[in-house]
Amino acid sequence: MVFRNFLAPIDDYTNLPFRMLCQKHGADSACVALVSAAAIMRNRKAILSVDVHPDERNVGVQLVGGDPEQMGRAAKLIAERCPHASWLNINAGCPSARTRECGGGSALLDTPEKIFGMVGSMRRAADLPVSVKIRIGHDAKQTIALCKGIEKEHADFIIIHGRTPAQGYSGKADWDLIKSVKESVGIPVIGNGDITSSIDGERMVNDGFCDSYMIGRAAMADPSVFCGEKANAVDDILGLLDEYLALQKRYRGDFVLPDAKAKAVNMLKGIPNASSIRNRICRARSFEEFCSAKEMQDSDVPEES
C-alpha cells in the first residue's frame, strides 16, 4: 500500500476539517496524529478522539506509547471502533518531551526492540497495514539497521523524517540518508522533511530518494500544496480559509475560534498585504469579529518585504 503523497500528522493541528481540506486539494492520504495507546486503554471513551470519518480517503491513525503489548491492544480497539481507518502508524520519531516521557516518540529510537515488538503486536491484533514513522539516528549504519529490523517484522512501509530528534526542525533534512534506506530495504519508504511543494516531492520520488513523500509545515501554510498550485495572494488564502470554515462547521458542528485563528495565522504568514488582516484576526473574540477581520480589505497596506 503506497500513496503518492501524505499529509504529515501534526499534533493539535491536522484535525478532521484540515485533513479534509488537504485531501480536497490533492493529498492522497492523511493521518490522525498522536493517539495515546495508554489513554485509550485507561478510558475507552478516549477512542472518540480518533476522528476518522467515512468521507476521508486512505486515512491512518498514529499511535504513541512505550509498551508493545499495550500498543497492540490499542490497535485492536481502533480497528474495531474505527472501521474507516485504512492504516496504522507507530510514532517513533516525535522529539517532544510530552511524547518521550511515556517512552514513545523518538525515545523508542534508543530501544529498537520495542519498535520491532510494536510492529508485531499491532499486526497480530489488527487487520490493517502497519507503518513506523522515525527520525534518523546517530549515523547511517544505525538508521539502516533499524529500518531493516522494522522490515523484518513485516511492517508495510516506513516514514522517515530526515532529521535527528536533537535537530528538531533546524538544519536540513538528510535526503541522502533517506535514499540509502530506500536502497537497503524492500518495503516502501516515505520521505519527509523540507518538502515545500508537490514538485519537490515528485522530484524526490522520480530521482529515487523515496517511494512517496510527506508534507507537513508547507501544508500548514498552504493546504493546496499537494495539487501543484501555490496560494500566494491574500484572496487565494482567504478562499482556502473560507473552505476550512465550511468544513469546520460541517464536521465539528460549530465554529471553533482558537482553531480557526491558528489556521488563519499560519496560512496568512508571509503573504504580501496580509499583516493587518492577520493582526485583526488574532484580536477577534467572536465569529462575527473573525469574519469582519477576514473580509476587510487592505488596499492601502504596502507589500511586506
CA distance 39 to 78: 12
CA distance 259 to 3: 28
Give the burial class of 166: count Cβ atoms within 10 A of its Cβ; 0-12 exposed, 13-18 middle, 19 or more buried: exposed
DSSP 47: G
Cβ–Cβ under 8 Å, residues 89 and 60: yes
Residue 36, CA distances (Å) to 26, 160, 288 in order: 28, 21, 36
Instruction: Out of 22, 82, 94, 210, pick the active-site residue.
Output: 94
Residue 204, CA distances (Å) to 236, 248, 300 in order: 27, 33, 41
CA distance 26 to 271: 22
Residue 247's DSSP bridge partners are: none
**Nearby residues of 32 by Cβ (< 8 Å), 6 or more positions away:** 9, 14, 50, 51, 52, 59, 60, 61, 62
22 catalytic? Reply is no
CA distance 198 to 270: 20
Hey, which residues are catalytic here?
94
